């Protein structure tokens, strides 16, 4: 599996950004793709996740209400939109994926609980200025 993020860059506080994660190489129809972020000097944290078989998303409380995650199956891409941006959103944003041989409503929870077994993209930097 390969994941390629894009869409980062400098943004003003109060604005919005849309990040893309294009995936390839899945051998199973059942997978979850999630977004994580790591701010300077801080630990990596999960942001949001979506499964391949459902439009229902899983977003952690810290970002609730400001993020939207969506999937475009035609181009194997998952998007993360953040609006409005805050200066504390400055971070490298990574997408990560886990896949399994069968479907489960807990795939996103599994991704956030066991990110060490996921496949990761290279990350994209979002810099929010006031």
Measured CA to CA in angstroms, residue 15 lies from 26, 55, 85, 86 at distances of: 34, 25, 6, 8
Average pLDDT of the residues in 31-43 = 96
- Per-residue confidence (pLDDT) for residue 2, from 0 to 100: 97
Q: pLDDT class for 21, splitting at 50, 70, 90?
A: very high
Phi, psi of 51 (to 5 degrees): -95, 160
- Per-residue confidence (pLDDT) for residue 103, from 0 to 100: 87
List beta partners, residue 117: none
- Rounded CA separation 105/51 (Å): 8
- Per-residue confidence (pLDDT) for residue 64, from 0 to 100: 86
Q: pLDDT class for 42, splitting at 50, 70, 90?
A: very high
| Structure confidence by residue, pLDDT tens digits, 51-104 | 999 988 888 877 889 999 999 999 999 999 999 999 999 999 999 999 999 888
pLDDT at 32 over 90: yes
pLDDT at 115 over 80: yes
Spatial CB neighbours of 18, under 8 Å, sequence gap ≥ 6? 7, 79, 80, 81
Across the chain, mean pLDDT equals: 94
- Per-residue confidence (pLDDT) for residue 55, from 0 to 100: 85
- Per-residue confidence (pLDDT) for residue 22, from 0 to 100: 97
């Amino acid at each position: 599996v390969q994941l390629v993020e894009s869409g980062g860059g400098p943004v003003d506080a109060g604005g919005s950004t849309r990040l893309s994660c294009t995936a390839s190489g899945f051998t199973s129809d059942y997978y979850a793709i999630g977004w994580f972020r790591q701010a300077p000097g801080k630990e990596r944290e999960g942001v949001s996740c979506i499964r391949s078989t459902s439009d229902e998303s899983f977003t952690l409380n810290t970002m609730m209400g400001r993020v939207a995650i969506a999937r475009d199956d035609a181009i194997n891409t998952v998007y993360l939109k953040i609006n409005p941006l805050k200066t504390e959103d400055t971070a490298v944003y990574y997408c990560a994926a886990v896949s399994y041989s069968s479907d489960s409503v807990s795939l996103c929870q599994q991704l956030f609980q066991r990110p060490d077994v996921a496949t990761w993209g290279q990350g994209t930097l979002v810099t929010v200025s006031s």
